[in-house]
Chains A and B, each alone.
Chain A
Amino acid sequence: MTGRAQAGVPGVGRLHTWRAAIRIARRDAMRFKGRSLLVLAMIALPIMGVSAVDVTIRSSQLTTAETATRELGAADARISDAGHGPQPVYQEAVPGGVVPVQQNPGGKAAAKEVTVTEPDGSVAVAGEITPPVDPLVALPAGAHRLSDAFIYAPVRTRFGLLNVEIRELKAADPIAAGIAELDRGRFPAAADEMAATNGFLKSSGLHVGSQVRVRGLDRSYRIVGAYDLPSQLDAEQLNALPGAFIPPYEATRSTAERAMDPSGVPTYLVSVRGDFTWDMVKRANTLGVQVDSRAVRLHPPARADVPIYRTDFGDPVLYDSGDVRPKAVAAGVTIAGLSMLEICLLAGPAFAVGARRSRRQLGLVGANGGDRRHIRAIVLSSGLVLGAAAAVVGTLLGVVATMLLRGTLEGYVGQRFGGLTLRPTELAGVGGLAVLTGLLASVVPAVGAARQSVLASLTGRRGVRRANRFLPVAGLLLLGLGVAVVFCATMLTDSTYSAVLGAALAEAGLVMLTSAIIGAFGRLGRWLPLAPRLALRDAVRNRGRTAPAVAAVLAAVAGSVAVASYAASQAQEDRQAYVARLPHGEVAVGANGEAAGDLAQVRAAVEKNYPVTGRVDVSRVYVGGASCLKDEGLPGCGRIEMRMPPANVCPSSGPTGAHRLTVAQREALVHDWRCALRWGPSAISASDGVLVGGPAVLHALGVRDGAAEQALARGETVLFDRAYADHGSVKFTVIADVTKESQDGTEPAGAVKSLPVHLAAEEEPYGVVAVVPRRAADAAGFTTTPLGSYYTTSQMPSGAQRQALNSDVAKIGTRAEVYLERGYIGHGNLVLVALTLFAGVITIGAAGIATGLAQTDAEPDLRTLAAIGAPGQVRRTLTGFQCGVVAVMGVVLGSAAGVLPAIALRRGDQHRRWDEYRRELDEGWGAVTPPKVPLVVPWATLALLVVVVPLGAGLLAALVTRSRPDLGRRAEG
């Protein structure tokens, strides 16, 4: 016998104890591989995701040198016009702000007027521009250069028109190396060739070898290669040789357009001997040229050496970690916390199963002198071991997955990674989360196992542990606190965050109360048949194992129900807020501005693809020369505006109207007809909602008003808003030039035309305020132009017909709009389905784990049942009900708990809307309606969760259970 050994220093002794505990846990984990793998997967999967996200984010953050290469290629610098004319400027070291050294009052140097020559020969000033500077004036002697210019142009694709950046850069030149990565084919070598980004090829439906045509240009280009921009993989860009596209395309634009939009001006990539130093940059600045230098990016000058910071330009903007939005961090922490809670709740029962199966072993440890501390250490070690294994496996898998899926991830992030960046401290932190999760999940089973008496563990006596008395009381308090916070947050403030926090507190309280609530479920037992009664009683008597599983289901279901309720409520609100633009099933074609020329083609496309039964054409009034048809905003172009008699003007409208009234008066005006909301959305938009057309327009708008039709036929204008009626007439102000219109809200100046009017009984059908018969328009001296058509249909066009029409309209390459009134169409059903599925999977998983645990305990009962002659299926039935009971309790409690956050969020919305409403009233917006924020319970989702999921879980458990009892020897320690 060896002599008594001393334990030594207490801390060291404790460490030795833990080593023994970890050894037992590690070997046990290897012995029970199935259970270990289950827990490992539960913890490792989220860890894999988080570490993959970390590696992806870090890899996508480029170094300064990598960023410089992507923007400058192999060049030393890029020189460009600083945009302030030929005068000295100051610039930031890394390109950003530029200011002229001498600031003139206008802020711009020597601005030059740009004029427009009208078709009638008149000349108007279109605006002012700063004269351009040729960057080559700052080219150092002996430097190599490569021009780089781009312009946007409408390119014809297989689906229509696409506004695409066309870049003139000799991408194959060594100076440009690194800017564009050739994927296949080659870069253009001739003037009729182009290369295209994969992003462009994807969205245009074209391919290498296709011909590209640009609208308005009478030549085509052959695509000879595909490339990517490493920092913008989804970029839609075409590449041409310098001079191959921009000069011929510029020739198609008017001088004024070119002057007002001077794109296509080249910058130059420059290669010099040595570096392009900060001194060279400052020299270039003296000539009005801005420089983006690689050397300066890599080694920025001291702040004192950057003159721009000595001007009133201010200090450089510094981005640091403090810039991270706290709300995003809070959201991240909340999501991570809830995920950890969910994993703990799911993995907890698995550890409890382990502890229960190892009770003999733990009893032996107790018999050999292990006290509660040692038993706890052994069970906690199982969490530690599996958590650590999950940390290693999850992190490694995350890194490997990132490496394997690099291409896909780069596509998702939208840029090439600089390299695979692994931050050991961050990955260790992520791994630490796994260890923490494992430990937390095993805390409750560890405490439970330690509370078990050694004797009971050794004899295998099945004791029913007394429920914790503290937990339900704390849960009740937390629930009350949570509900109070929700109430305060929604009734007294509009803090959504507080409301959600309150809901989370309440849910945590409910999780703590689960054990007590399960006890209440037990009272239902007496009315149930044998198998469900046994299952329910067993679940209630063994709350220690039932409660975590029920809580896991509760948490998952509550989250899903909360989102589902909120989404359903919002969908209901959207449905209520939906305003139709046409009678159901009707079609409208509208072509304003430059699209007017495509009207005939679009009409033909509609008539070809849709089952249309009648067409009604409408026109609009326009003011000004022929050029105004294309762009009404040009100088010399005007519009008409309906005049409202002063008596009909809402007293609270106008710049000062609201301030003359008290809040009570403003609230009273909400119900005043003069202050009602006007001008809803219209399928065909015309100035002031005024259409020119005949009686058929009324039919198209769903107006059945014989008197109105007769009035139109008589040549009277039909008015749908009585506010504009002025003693039997309606007055239009003809504004000659919109660019000269006063912006101060006063009555616009111009000739006033008065037209006889008929006031229709109906108010503003589908956003139309007035229909002017052509005769009356002509008589008033208005010039009109076709605006569009209304079509009635024999049936609602099908999805295929809609796609066919969209394709035809895209081929025309027009900006004309075709609108089909299909009524309110909800969206987001997919989210609800996904959430329901998620909750279902968690429910089945948690209930399955709890059932496995219950089976371990129930084996003697089942043997007894078999011994007294119970048929084999009783085992299956009991297992099915054990699973179903956990699922039912979880989903019922979860559904109840989930409605609270939804109420909190909706009440928060309501509070905010009412605040906005009151503010609008205060600010004098008369035409506001009190907000309606409905709260809808998604009964279909709830029914699916409460009925179908538990049923499925129970059936699944019953199916996978053996009907014959286990005749093997009793489980080892």
Chain B
Amino acid sequence: MSSQPTPPAEPRDPSHPAAGGPSTTGPTASTASTAPDRAVEPVLSLQELTRVHGTGAAQVHALRGIDLDVYPGELVAVMGPSGSGKSTLLTIAGGLDLPTSGRVVVEGTDLTMARRKDIAALRRRSIGYVFQDYNLIPALTAAENVALPRELDGVSSRRGRKEALAALEEFGLQELADRFPDEMSGGQQQRVAIARALVGDRRLVLADEPTGALDSETGDAVLALLRSRCDAGAAGILVTHEPRFAAWADRVVFLRDGSVVDMTLRSSAESLLAGGAAQ
């Protein structure tokens, strides 16, 4: 990144039909160029989601009745203290874990009803993950890492590589194509991970503290990339502790003890977060 990216200056219009405020019934934010379209189906829909770990005295309610829809072109930030259920929400959204009750629908497929192999196939084709660190497989080059979901899907190595190179080029990362993870910086690794998360037709990016192990400048660069992908039509959920990173999102969802305690547009969130910081 040649210059310091900044969050979009123009606040999105909360009165936009796709916005919807802290309601749980529809999209919450949009931009003028790629406004989330309520007329289309949400990429991700969480309905009455509950997750309980353990039984008896050891029982923990990680999520309590969460409702959330994420539309194409929308980036939703999830914030909250440790143990609030942020990561659980993300793992359930990606089909890595199943809810105790409720529904998880990704691109029309109800993960709670799907077979394990169908969920895996969905992760190959529709869902991309970005974790805090160690996102890339050390034994594969950047291009091979990006091509991995495609190759797992049975696409030939040559075709997978072609698609991966195209994706890397799109992200401005083509010079990293043949480098192994240990030959890249943390920021470069995260950007390659985002490229992998969106290779092929994947339209849902689930990012769990993707900037947690990065300095703020690199973190901003990574967020700018994520934002640009969402602007290009992808849907994303960003779990973060950092208010300044949450400012990149269209909506911010606050969790506490497994429940949504607040859901706000970016503009409101910024003021809220700023106020919180001042206090």
Contact = CB atoms under 8 A, between A and B. Distances in A.
B240 to A, nearest CB: 18
A1 B232 CA distance: 9
Contact of B120 (A2, A8, A24, A370): A370
Nearest to B97: A455
Interface string B245-256: 000000000000
B202 to A, nearest CB: 8
A368 B200 contact: no
A115 interface: no
Contact of B200 (A2, A8, A19, A23): A2
Nearest to B158: A16
B121 A369 contact: yes
B134 A360 contact: yes
Interface string A362-378: 00111111111110000
A3 B137 CA distance: 24
B271 interface: no
A361 B152 contact: no
B71 interface: no
Contacts, number: 129
A361 to B, nearest CB: 5
A733 interface: no
Contacts of A33: none
Given A2-B163, A369-B125, A16 B148 contact: no
A23 to B, nearest CB: 7
Residue in B121, B139, B149 with the greatest tally of chain A CB atoms within 10 Å: B139
Nearest to B162: A2
A369 B139 contact: no
Contact of B159 (A5, A367, A369, A373): A5
Contacts of B125: 4, 369
B148 A368 contact: yes
Nearest to B156: A16
A368 B139 contact: no
Contacts of A20: 144, 148, 151-152, 157, 160
B233 to A, nearest CB: 8
B236 interface: no
Contacts of B121: 369, 371
A867 B140 CA distance: 36
Contacts of A1: 167, 170, 198-201, 232
Nearest to B135: A364
Given A2-B200, A5-B200, A371-B121, A17 B154 contact: yes
Contacts of A365: 137, 148, 152
Nearest to A362: B137
Nearest to B87: A459
Contact of A4 (B152, B156, B201): B201
Contacts of B91: 455
A24 B129 contact: no
A27 interface: yes
Contact of A28 (B139, B159, B201): B139
Interface in B151-199: 151-157, 159-160, 163, 166-167, 170, 196, 198-199
B117 to A, nearest CB: 5
A368 B150 CA distance: 9
Q: Is the interface of A mostly helix, strand, loop or mixed?
A: helix
A366 to B, nearest CB: 7
Nearest to B196: A368
Contacts of A89: none
Contacts of B212: none
B151 A16 contact: yes
A367 B129 contact: yes
Contacts of B124: 368-370
Contact of A24 (B127, B137, B155): B137
A3 B166 CA distance: 11
Contacts of B148: 20, 365, 368
A763 B5 CA distance: 114
A17 B154 CA distance: 5
Contacts of A453: 96
Sort chain A's interface into a size bin.
35 or more
A526 interface: no
A7 interface: yes
A869 interface: no
A7 B153 contact: yes
A454 interface: yes
Contacts of B129: 367-368
Residue in A10, A31, A373, A972 with the greatest tally of chain B CB atoms within 10 Å: A972
Contact of B131 (A16, A19, A458): A458
Nearest to B232: A1
A24 B153 CA distance: 16
Contacts of A366: 96, 120, 123
Interface residues of B, number: 46
A27 B150 CA distance: 19
Contact of A369 (B131, B152, B167): B152
B8 interface: no
A185 to B, nearest CB: 63
Given A4-B125, A5-B155, A458-B131, A27 B139 contact: yes
Interface string A347-385: 000000000000011001111111111100000000000
A31 B148 CA distance: 19
Contact of B151 (A12, A17, A367, A455): A17
A4 B121 CA distance: 13
A367 B94 contact: yes
B154 A371 contact: no
Nearest to B150: A5
A160 interface: no
Contacts of A370: 120, 124, 152
A19 B140 CA distance: 12
A365 B125 CA distance: 13
A2 B167 CA distance: 7
Contacts of B153: 5, 7, 13, 369
A373 B134 CA distance: 23
Contacts of A10: 154
Given A12-B154, A16-B157, A371-B116, A24 B123 contact: no
A23 B159 contact: no
A578 B97 CA distance: 75
A366 B139 CA distance: 16
A764 B199 CA distance: 99
A368 B140 CA distance: 14
B152 A5 contact: no
Contacts of B122: 369
A31 B139 contact: yes
B138 interface: yes
Contacts of B199: 1-2
A8 B127 CA distance: 21
B138 A361 contact: yes
Contacts of A16: 151, 154-157, 160
A367 B96 contact: yes
Contacts of B160: 16, 20
B152 A374 contact: yes
Contacts of A611: none
Contacts of A756: none
Interface string A1-42: 111111110101110110110011011100100000000000
A459 B26 CA distance: 32
Interface in B79-116: 91, 94, 96-97, 116
Nearest to B208: A458
A5 B121 CA distance: 13
A199 interface: no
B134 A972 contact: yes
A583 interface: no
B154 A7 contact: yes
A973 interface: yes
Nearest to B137: A361
9 contacts: A5-B155, A5-B159, A17-B154, A23-B157, A24-B137, A361-B139, A368-B123, A368-B124, A372-B117
Given A367-B129, A368-B152, 5 more contacts: A27-B138, A31-B138, A361-B139, A453-B96, A458-B131
